[in-house]
Structure 1
Amino acid sequence: MSSERVVIVGGGHGGFQMAANLRSEGFAGAITLIGEEPGLPYQRPPLSKAFLKDGDAARLHFRPQAFFDTNNIELMPGTRVSRINREARHVTTATGTEIGYDHLVLATGSRNVRPPVANLHLENVLSLRNLADAADLRARLSAARHVLVIGGGFIGMEFAAVASDFGVEVTVIEGADRLMARTVSGAVSKHFLALHEGRGTRVRLGRFVSELLDDGTGRVAGVRLSDGTEIAGDLVLIAAGVAPNSELAAEAGLSVSNGIDVDTLLRTSDLSISALGDCCNFPDPVSGNRVRLESVQAATDHARTIAKRLTGKPAPYTAVPWFWSDQSHFKLQIAGLGSGADEQVALEPEAGGLVVINFAAGRLISVETVNSAAAHMSARRLLASGRPVAQAELAAHNYNLVDYARAV
């Protein structure tokens, strides 16, 4: 399809990688990249970490404008797509402009969930999803005395670590009975609870916020929990999870469940439209279950899969998913998906480090590590090999992933 036009809706990590991979795979047709935010496409993971510390937005850009000019990638920043016309094969922007496509890629990402909490409109109640959010949060953090974080997932805990590094008092309030419960094992949750509490952060587990307190001038003064407990605070971060941006696809009549439904080649129910990243759910190549991953690496691998297909080299998406979270000096890395694990082995190979190996029916399915890069890389190699790794084999090597990976 070298003479055709690919339109990409979504200027985040997945959208940028889609455009770049098309060119690197030899696609010679027109590429249009449409994003709602102004400016050049940029990295989002540093927003909750490095950017809050240095405030350098220029360092976030994937590439300078010259890259897009040289590769003939048309950028349309500050543009919202409001409709897909599948019959005519064009998208319509909020201003009424129609843009035709031969193939459409939806990289619309996800959005922050707004929990059912009263008074979310108060001043100094923030969320963190884009560069504007991060810049606002950074400016307000410098004047804060006590930060309250609603949500103990990756973003909430990454921000809590930064705020603590700034010397600000921090309290995290999480409805589940452990931190990062949707993503990590109990052993990792317990490990990070101890790490954060050791740094002075207060963590309230199994608690829900029912109301934000007004100081009488429209600014937040704290929170009231569902049990009536009040906790004072002058800055609140809402980090209660995300939801896929799949409405555009649903309104166009595409199959949508927990995100946009795609097959192993990342094709939607309309073969002229693909979807990638946070906004789509796909068959996990290991379990066969449909999953939706909120992961930069998944978006990158999805983009690579679609680019190869559109340039005549189709191959199913089979990449091993991996994730990371930097929380102060502690780097959490996860290879594979641990859902369905029925046995775990936890090791502490060094001070402050942790390796949790997850098995299902005696077979390795995922590995979680803290400050153990070698074990993480070995796990990724083993999971990517396609060769089942039996628990008994690892046990014979004292569960040393590095040694085992070298031996096989």
Structure 2
Amino acid sequence: MIGNGMAGIRCLDALLERAPGRFDVTVFSAEERTNYDRIQLSGVLLGEKGWDDVVLNDDAWYAERGITLHLGAKVARIDRERRVVVSENGIEAPYDKVLYATGSRAFVLPVPGRDLDGVYVFRTYEDCDAMIERAKTATRAAVIGGGLLGLEAARGLAAHGLEVTVVHLVSTLMERQLDAAGGEYLRRAIEQQGVHVALGKKTEEILADEDGRVRGLRFADGSTLDAEIVVMAAGIVPNAELAKSAGIECRRGVIVDDFLRTSDPDVYAVGECVEHRGLCYGLVAPLYEMGRVAAAHLAGETTAAYEGSVVSTKLKVSGVDVFSAGDPFGDGACEILRAEDSSAGVYKKVLFRDGKAVGAVLVGDATLSGSLDALVKGGTAVEGPRAAILFPELASAGGASASPDAAVAALPESATICACNGVAKGAVLCAIREQGLTTRKEVAACTNASRSCGGCGPQVESLLRLVHGDSVTAKPTKKTLCDCTSLSREEVIAAIHEQHLTSVRETMSVLGWAGDGCATCRPAINYYLTVAWPGENEDDPRSRFVNERVHANIQRDGTYSVVPRMYGGVTTPDELMRIAQVAKRFHVPTVKVTGGQRIDLLGVKKEDLPAVWKALDMPSGFAYAKGVRTVKTCVGSTWCRFGTRDSMGFGIRVERTFENLWTPAKVKMAVNACPRNCAESLVKDVGLIAGETEWEIYVGGNGGIKVRTAELLAKVESDDEAMDLIAAFLQHYREDATYGERTAHWVERVGIEAIRKAVVDDLENRAALVDRMEEALEARVEPWRERVTKLESGDEEMEREFAPLRLKLKVVA
């Protein structure tokens, strides 16, 4: 076998199972390593996986099967007359049959500067090592290519603190799998993670500095982009040259028939080097399908022909769920069913032609991928209300959409469940039945299904229910933290406490996470660690969205807003003068008074943020965070003739006490000095209203999309007791709510009586909650001051974070 990659070894393994002892096998590998999982290279680049995490077949695997393995032995020629394969280092091996599995290589743009120091491709383990080493001294990176590999490379480099820009030739990311709208949803999600996206940019030159190293890119429109690292991820090229030099028919790839034979019947080919019926495939599932057919034919079995693959893609792209099946674009004859939730970043689309589903796209939520895959591949007419396809709860018996379990049950056993590892439905069912598997984790360990990106987890769980029936479905339904794990939020938090886990990476490793985590689980784990071990946890910037990482709100044009804290909405002439001076000095285009009684500076460049913070000399308003934001106040008894208490003074005390506190979602508070409620306490997460002699404390209000009136928690007379109840309520919310859950939803879900019992009535529990809150408050830092101090001390990580992204436009007359 020529090549030692995933497709070739999978084919070889199937052959040895079918015909043990029939062949003496020799494997030539151009790489110095045994077979490994290239799908996991994104985790290697992130710095979260090492060799032991990605190796698929170690030295012992080859030895146990009697395979002669030559590592670092690139084949120079196939001598068809002598029937020998000859490597560049002089090794010869005679053959009866050749399995040609050389894979592909990255397409390198034929532009000046492509050979400069600092230009990389993203194909091998060594490529990852090289980029990680270079990232230690670089500040900016450009990734050429907006497909899956390019986006994963961008995510990995951003995790090392680099300012990363994805440069893509066309106007849509992943344009082969996604329509324009789906690509736009993906772009927004990628940019939320702090990665810049430059669409419609044609790279004409890679620029060099005086030392011959990369310094940036020049585009066809005359603009330039600064970068010390450039990654080529603009496609792949089949490695067909060796076959062509041996006289084997090739076009773009090595031409094969339906049994994977080349023009030489003694030479078979599988994988990304192959061209079958005019198509070359780059996804794992089709390559594994080729391997099964080739193995059966080599073993002398009568086997069905390989007729090509109906490709569907279900992936996590930089942590974002993406699914595409069939034709995602359609034509004028197509009818379209589409659903969008822009606030949640979710896009769903199904295309119909002649009453049949012919294509589907999902971005941000791929839970319907199994049923949509079945619809598209099934090719049968859709009956009943089509809306039920995207909203299964609308379906009735015999309607258009079956349950996810029924959709998976309808798939043939040859259907691929796990595209990452090429695991078919039949293989999963066989393992569940024969091995007695009852959990997704057990299935992953036995079959590899859901082991990589975790996206097929729901389908695996459907198969478990189909096999075990009532013995599984009778169990209480458990909502997992996300598709990357079979554990619930409660189980993850319990493990964090019981095993004293203090970092995201440690938590995912110990708890057997599938893949590298996603935009759902990583921020949640980071938050749960913060609550469990205040001051001891390792905060992971890579597990925060860009707003919390940079401590400013990113705007639609890539600039940021800066909102300094004004305690209780009270300010001074000196503060106002500083704000005005900063706005003029940094040419801030918009200065706006916010609804939270603060001032927002809109349009600040990222590289200017530290200087703006220093010049303001005011604390962060936390306006970007899942945390305590504002305490709105009325003027109270200090000025108002109706006020019965000092609402400004108490509001300032509350805000100074709880500022910069991380919570499951944003928290807004208000203090009113009388029932006229000028500061709107009844639509705040925590609101106080003064009576003649007491404070009324209300919780769980919301003035947003779904307005909810806050509910009365308690009435107390003293300021100190009110502070204790606020602390106990916030700590109970911090510990009990789901990450991302506002108090309005939490109070409605848990019930005010249960919360009142835990916070007000149970004095011992209240005291314990207050004690834990005090521990959390002691661990806080003022984020703007901390970052300014680190920059002034020469902290390299901070310097990389706030290094300017230079995009210059050269106007040619």
TM-score (norm 2): 0.45
Question: CA offsets, 1:290-343, max 9 Å, x none?
Answer: 3211112222221111112222132222554343443332132344x4377334
| Residue equivalent to 2:294 | 306
Give, as a single letter, the amino acid of the residue that structure 2 aligns with 1:341.
Answer: G
Find out whether 1:11 has 2:1 as its counterpart. no
Cα distance in 2 between the residues matched to 1:121 and 1:222? 13
Give, as a single letter, the amino acid of the residue that structure 1 aligns with 2:245.
Answer: E
Question: CA offsets, 1:30-49, max 9 Å, x none?
Answer: 22221100121111122134
| Residue equivalent to 1:184 | 178
| Residue equivalent to 2:224 | 230
Give the direction of change, closer, same or farther, for the CA distance of 1:354–1:51 in structure 2 (3 Å limit): same
| Residue equivalent to 1:65 | 59
| Residue equivalent to 2:142 | 148
Cα distance in 2 between the residues matched to 1:274 and 1:203? 41
Question: CA offsets, 1:168-226, max 9 Å, x none?
Answer: 21112111121122343333212211112223322221111212222212222211111
Cα distance in 1 between the residues matched to 2:373 and 2:265? 32
Cα distance in 2 between the residues matched to 1:341 and 1:390? 17
Provide the secondary structure at the position in 1 that maps to 2:403.
helix
Contact 2:185 2:346 survives alignment (8 Å): no
Which one of the candidate residues 329, 333, 346 is aligned to 2:323? 333
Q: How far does residue 132 in structure 1 lie from its aligned partner after superposition? A: 0.9
Contact 2:46 2:159 survives alignment (8 Å): no
When structure 1 is superposed on structure 2, of 267-276 and 391-400 the one drifting more is: 391-400
Cα distance in 2 between the residues matched to 1:360 and 1:50? 42
| Residue equivalent to 2:363 | 370
Contact 1:149 1:239 survives alignment (8 Å): yes
Q: How does 1:65-144 map to 2 (within 5 A)?
A: 65-144=59-138
Give the direction of change, closer, same or farther, for the CA distance of 1:247–1:230 in structure 2 (3 Å limit): same
Contact 1:278 1:299 survives alignment (8 Å): yes
Which one of the candidate residues 338, 357, 361 is aligned to 1:346? 338
Identity of aligned residues (%): 29
Provide the secondary structure at the position in 2 that maps to 1:59.
helix
Find out whether 1:23 has 2:16 as its counterpart. yes
Provide the secondary structure at the position in 2 that maps to 1:277.
coil
| Residue equivalent to 1:168 | 162
Contact 1:214 1:221 survives alignment (8 Å): yes
Provide the secondary structure at the position in 1 that maps to 2:114.
coil
Q: How far does residue 394 in structure 1 lie from its aligned partner after superposition? A: 7.5
Contact 1:184 1:338 survives alignment (8 Å): no
Give, as a single letter, the amino acid of the residue that structure 2 aligns with 1:81.
Answer: V
Cα distance in 2 between the residues matched to 1:359 and 1:257? 34
Question: CA offsets, 1:117-143, max 9 Å, x none?
Answer: 222232222111111111101222233
Give the direction of change, closer, same or farther, for the CA distance of 1:242–1:199 in structure 2 (3 Å limit): same
Cα distance in 1 between the residues matched to 2:157 and 2:89? 40
Question: CA offsets, 1:66-88, max 9 Å, x none?
Answer: 22222222212111112122343
Contact 1:320 1:380 survives alignment (8 Å): no
Give the direction of change, closer, same or farther, for the CA distance of 1:308–1:321 in structure 2 (3 Å limit): farther
Contact 1:158 1:325 survives alignment (8 Å): no
Question: CA offsets, 1:131-169, max 9 Å, x none?
Answer: 111110122223331211111111111111233344321
Which one of the candidate residues 188, 191, 197 is aligned to 1:194? 188
| Residue equivalent to 2:396 | none
Provide the secondary structure at the position in 2 that maps to 1:149.
strand
Give, as a single letter, the amino acid of the residue that structure 2 aligns with 1:173.
Answer: V
Structure with the largest fraction of strand? 1
Contact 1:147 1:171 survives alignment (8 Å): yes
Provide the secondary structure at the position in 2 that maps to 1:278.
coil
Cα distance in 2 between the residues matched to 1:234 and 1:200? 18
Q: Which runs of 5+ in 2 are unaligned?
A: 393-400, 411-813
Give, as a single letter, the amino acid of the residue that structure 2 aligns with 1:294.
Answer: G
Cα distance in 2 between the residues matched to 1:71 and 1:365? 44
Provide the secondary structure at the position in 1 that maps to 2:368.
helix
Contact 1:180 1:189 survives alignment (8 Å): yes
Cα distance in 2 between the residues matched to 1:398 and 1:322? 18
Which one of the candidate residues 253, 261, 265 is aligned to 1:267? 261
Contact 1:374 1:402 survives alignment (8 Å): no
| Residue equivalent to 1:287 | none
Give, as a single letter, the amino acid of the residue that structure 1 aligns with 2:104.
Answer: S
Give the direction of change, closer, same or farther, for the CA distance of 1:218–1:206 in structure 2 (3 Å limit): same
Give, as a single letter, the amino acid of the residue that structure 1 aligns with 2:302.
Answer: K
Contact 1:55 1:138 survives alignment (8 Å): no
- 4+ residue segments displaced more than 6 Å: none
Which one of the candidate residues 316, 319, 331 is aligned to 2:305? 316
Which one of the candidate residues 39, 42, 48 is aligned to 1:45? 39
| Residue equivalent to 2:406 | 406
Which one of the candidate residues 380, 385, 389 is aligned to 2:380? 389
Give, as a single letter, the amino acid of the residue that structure 2 aligns with 1:226.
Answer: A
Question: CA offsets, 1:274-295, max 9 Å, x none?
Answer: 1111111213xxxxxx321111
Contact 1:146 1:233 survives alignment (8 Å): yes
Cα distance in 1 between the residues matched to 2:14 and 2:246? 26
Cα distance in 2 between the residues matched to 1:75 and 1:233? 40
Cα distance in 2 between the residues matched to 1:357 and 1:340? 10
Q: How far does residue 108 in structure 1 lie from its aligned partner after superposition? A: 0.9
Give, as a single letter, the amino acid of the residue that structure 2 aligns with 1:388.
Answer: G
Contact 1:103 1:272 survives alignment (8 Å): yes
Contact 2:177 2:324 survives alignment (8 Å): no
Give the direction of change, closer, same or farther, for the CA distance of 1:234–1:402 in structure 2 (3 Å limit): farther
State the superposition RMSD in angstroms: 2.6
| Residue equivalent to 1:291 | 279
TM-score (norm 1): 0.87
Structure with the largest fraction of helix? 2
Give the direction of change, closer, same or farther, for the CA distance of 1:341–1:252 in structure 2 (3 Å limit): farther
Provide the secondary structure at the position in 1 that maps to 2:293.
helix
Find out whether 1:355 has 2:348 as its counterpart. yes
Cα distance in 2 between the residues matched to 1:192 and 1:217? 37
| Residue equivalent to 2:270 | 276
Larger radius of gyration: 2
Provide the secondary structure at the position in 2 that maps to 1:181.
coil
Contact 1:355 1:368 survives alignment (8 Å): yes
Give, as a single letter, the amino acid of the residue that structure 2 aligns with 1:310.
Answer: L
| Residue equivalent to 2:772 | none
Give the direction of change, closer, same or farther, for the CA distance of 1:139–1:22 in structure 2 (3 Å limit): same
Count of matched residue pairs: 392
When structure 1 is superposed on structure 2, of 368-377 and 152-161 the one drifting more is: 368-377
Provide the secondary structure at the position in 2 that maps to 1:54.
coil
Give the direction of change, closer, same or farther, for the CA distance of 1:185–1:379 in structure 2 (3 Å limit): same
| Residue equivalent to 1:5 | none
Q: How far does residue 116 in structure 1 lie from its aligned partner after superposition? A: 2.5
Cα distance in 2 between the residues matched to 1:252 and 1:26? 28
Provide the secondary structure at the position in 1 that maps to 2:247.
coil
